[in-house]
Chains A and B, each alone.
Chain A
């Protein structure tokens, strides 16, 4: 539909993106390539620069360095054009609580100068299933519905790329599942997504992932690639007295992390041999030991703990 005869086959293709606030480097030399129609998960601890990166992509912030394209447009110089084709959903609900659902949608549609505004609002209300609740004030909606309204408002101008900043924070599991269902449908129709999240189940529903901590990109690829790149060996221990065992295990060299998962412990380390040597004395102590595949969460915790926090 557009003259996207760009050299890049990617929806997002940026290199060397850097942003400083004062002397703090919040995003450092970040590269990202997202294919059209892809759901790209963007993970990292709080304050790692995810939101700042999204804000730079949609022109809310000026990067200090970096180049590349977003939807085939120069992301530093053509942010006005990019804004028209991108939907950005902020972390906090940022529509007007004292306007009704319909008024909010109509307002956004006007800001984008849509030619068939009324029809777009109707379509959006219908898709939300909110036709009969259109006169309800947005402030009276529950968390899940607010999030659906926010998504609908981001979609109203038919963007090609959606940037969602922790869209499911504080939303119940059922609503979250429905939300992801909708995202997969939209992606199948060609829409590209860049989604930040802290939930591992959501991360594993993304086509590809990037993990960023303290401004640095630490891992990227599919879930399997990220797990493999983490190079982590993990043992699961089940049985009695796990808390005491965890304390002992943590002191051993070769054991890099011990995490409690309900009635089991995950014991991980990057050097498989060293880890095995360290745990051998405990294998016969009454608990059940099994070597398992490392999960995303194990990998991320490991990545986070081995990266120095350059802010403190």
Chain B
């Protein structure tokens, strides 16, 4: 066979052409630079699998030097930030259910009296263990602490209490996921991740495809209204979203035995808002993207921080403040709290409310952008 020789000139012509096209496609170029940067920042700075400074509530029924010492020692361990002071056991329960705190420490009424009598009182540490990886290290730290912390206060005649065994019992209760099964955390969260992924990509594509193929022009020359086009294109995908959700819920129940403590109808209802939020993102992207490839790139650009900063893969509270602030803006973050709250904690509408309004706000902002952009692209 007489194979033509490899021509450097022809090869170079193609290389050159690719670079020219790459430069013209601004969005692709931005993504090529932007995505690695985002990954670098997120993985390098934001993600921390050994979260510290976890918000902790203290209910000190016994206000004694000992309990103050314990509280002080917890804070010094750098794992606990004492953000709340509770005044009843019920308050502790609410704070944990709403996810306001990760831990709650209860010093019982007779703590110091029993301690001095050598009766080994109980100190209660409750943890929100929906995400087992968020609490593991902190719990290990606290059990170390218990043996040594109080020794300093046991001076003079009390020195006899400095036994090898700790002078009090540390009781830890892992709420919501006592066996630290990570599937309990991951599988319900997967509903949110899947919906984010498909809803954004599919709606982003659905509208850019009409424009790319020229069918949008034809559509708009008929009596159909732009609103009818958008809503009509979205509704089928809302149904698709619910099919996906049903599949994950069935798998969660029957394959992974995730407990369903709260109301599934409530979850289905609240999911609607989340689906709308993602569709709003998809539509906004489709008004910005010039072609389908750009729509996919934008979807990926949104998906990446959603996955990493929402608390799905890594503990939310392990992240630095700026990363948490970004996370708070993402609908997935709030939806994960809702799903885990309903399924694992048995939360009702009241406990979900603090995570509902941020999603609603997000929808309003996104739709405002989408509508503004849509008008411009028509003319």
Residues of A near any B CB (own CB < 8 A): 55, 58-62, 80, 83-84, 86, 88, 90, 92-97, 108, 111-113
Contacts and interface: CB of A to CB of B under 8 A. Distances in A.
Interface residues of B, number: 13
A94 to B, nearest CB: 4
B379 to A, nearest CB: 6
A108 B222 contact: yes
A112 B223 CA distance: 6
Given A61-B379, A62-B379, A92 B214 contact: yes
Contact of B223 (A84, A90, A94): A84
Contacts of B223: 80, 83-84, 111-113
Given A58-B221, A61-B379, 18 more contacts: A55-B217, A60-B221, A60-B378, A80-B223, A83-B223, A88-B218, A90-B214, A90-B217, A92-B214, A94-B213, A95-B215, A95-B218, A108-B222, A111-B222, A111-B223, A111-B224, A112-B222, A112-B223
Contacts of B379: 61-62
A200 to B, nearest CB: 27
B228 to A, nearest CB: 9
B220 interface: yes
Contacts of A80: 223
25 contacts: A55-B217, A59-B221, A60-B217, A60-B220, A60-B378, A61-B379, A62-B379, A80-B223, A83-B222, A83-B223, A84-B223, A88-B218, A88-B221, A90-B218, A93-B214, A94-B213, A94-B217, A94-B218, A95-B215, A97-B213, A111-B219, A111-B223, A111-B224, A112-B223, A113-B223
Contacts of B219: 111
Interface string B202-219: 000000000001110111
A83 B221 contact: yes
Contacts of A97: 213
A260 B213 CA distance: 38
A59 B220 CA distance: 9
B125 to A, nearest CB: 60
Nearest to A88: B221
Contacts of B220: 60
Nearest to A85: B223
B313 to A, nearest CB: 36
A92 B148 CA distance: 80
Contacts of B222: 83, 108, 111-112
Nearest to B220: A60
A108 B224 CA distance: 10
A55 B213 CA distance: 17
Contacts of B215: 94-96
A58 to B, nearest CB: 5
Contacts of A84: 223
A258 B220 CA distance: 44
A148 B48 CA distance: 63
Interface in B124-170: none
A54 to B, nearest CB: 9
Nearest to A157: B222
A55 B219 CA distance: 13
Nearest to A86: B221
Nearest to A21: B379
Nearest to B229: A111
B235 to A, nearest CB: 15
A80 B223 CA distance: 6
Contacts of A60: 217, 220-221, 378
B25 to A, nearest CB: 21
Contacts of A58: 221
Contacts of A113: 223
A229 to B, nearest CB: 33
A61 B377 CA distance: 11
Q: Which 4 A-B pairs have the closest CB atoms?
A: A94-B218, A88-B221, A94-B214, A92-B214
A147 to B, nearest CB: 14
A83 B222 CA distance: 6
Nearest to B224: A111
Nearest to A83: B223
A224 to B, nearest CB: 34
Contacts of A111: 219, 222-224
A92 B213 CA distance: 9
A190 to B, nearest CB: 21
A80 B224 CA distance: 9
Counting chain B CB atoms within 10 Å of each CB, which of A84, A94, A97, A113 scores highest? A94
Contacts of A62: 379
B167 to A, nearest CB: 75
A119 to B, nearest CB: 19
Contacts of B218: 88, 90, 94-95
